[in-house]
Amino acid sequence: MWFSISEVSKSTGKSRNEVRKHLEFLIKNNIIGIVSETPMLYSFTVSGEEIKTESDIEKINIT
């Protein structure tokens, strides 16, 4: 998992800590859910699939 976070960090220019916080936010708000432990895989939940615009994301940040 750390390798994936590190790769996302490199490609986005964000710190690993910031990428990890975003991942935790998505899990906590039921936007993504774990599909498999080995290998570690996540998938969008039904509510995550409903996000289409930036304003949809902002609504999540408020709640």
CATH of the domain at 56: 1.10.10
Angle subtended at Cα 33 by Cα 36 and Cα 8, rounded to the nearest 5 degrees: 85
Whole-number pLDDT of residue 63 = 54
- Structural domain that includes position 32: 2-62
The gap between the terminal CA atoms of the chain, to the nearest Å, is 28
Alpha-carbon span 19 to 12, nearest angstrom? 9
Q: Does residue 19 sit in helix, strand or coil?
A: helix
Please report which confidence band the pLDDT of residue 58 belongs to, taking 50, 70 and 90 as the band edges.
Answer: confident
Q: How many domains does the chain have?
A: 1
pTM over 0.75: no
Whole-number pLDDT of residue 19 = 92
Alpha-carbon span 46 to 1, nearest angstrom? 23
